[in-house]
Structure 1
Amino acid sequence: MDVNQWFQTIKEHNILYVLSVLAIAMVLDFFSGILAAKWMKAVTSKIGINGILRKLASMILLIFFLPVAFLLPAYAGMTMLYVLYLGYLFLEIQSILENYQKMGIDVEPFKRFLIQLKEMYQKKK
């Protein structure tokens, strides 16, 4: 598979949109984490730098798996990539909700929404 076919396949599967949403969730998680730390009066430069480094390392790893997904036969690689990205997105959303909860915001409506969304997705399968 040459580079043009590789880019075309990525565009067809809209995987970059999922990666973009994931990047936005990472930014929201980072800033909500900073706000939660300020709220709890636990802001330190070490915590902030660790957060930045973890997000950066995660994004590098997620981007690394884009070409790796094409080494697997058929669409197994793309399927695994979607599972990886969506699983990580779910963890980012959970982290954002935890940060909001630390600030005293009621997150139960969001949790119920996520549960309903998960049930609706499982019914489609």
Structure 2
Amino acid sequence: MIINKSQKKKRFLPMTAAALSISVLCATAAMASGTSTASIRPGKSTATGSTVTASGTTGSLKVSSAGPTFYVQGYAKREIDFWPDSTAASRTANPSQTVTSGFSATKSHQYYSQANTQSGATSIYGEAVTKVN
């Protein structure tokens, strides 16, 4: 006697894989951070980065100086429409030094980096990097 078993089709596998991929992408987007970088190059003494919007409540500021004898002062600034922008964090990096600092961000507000060095500095590389998430 021959028994004819029906074969089950695996049609739900592509749908399951697609749902899993979408959930991973959503989780990654929720954890994504915005980054603003202000880079000082030779001949300049100030720089300002682009604005990024905080999706969470944490932020960090990393300031580095690669200049031979000059420091870099870095700021994480919160953009305010009707008032001067406020400083969320600031650090000073001496030559050949990188320093970091954390700060509390406000969700949905915009932040940017600003870097300054001594006026008249001609051969300095430095940057301030602000990350918010």
TM-score by length of 2: 0.24
Larger Rg: 2
More helix by share: 1
More strand by share: 2
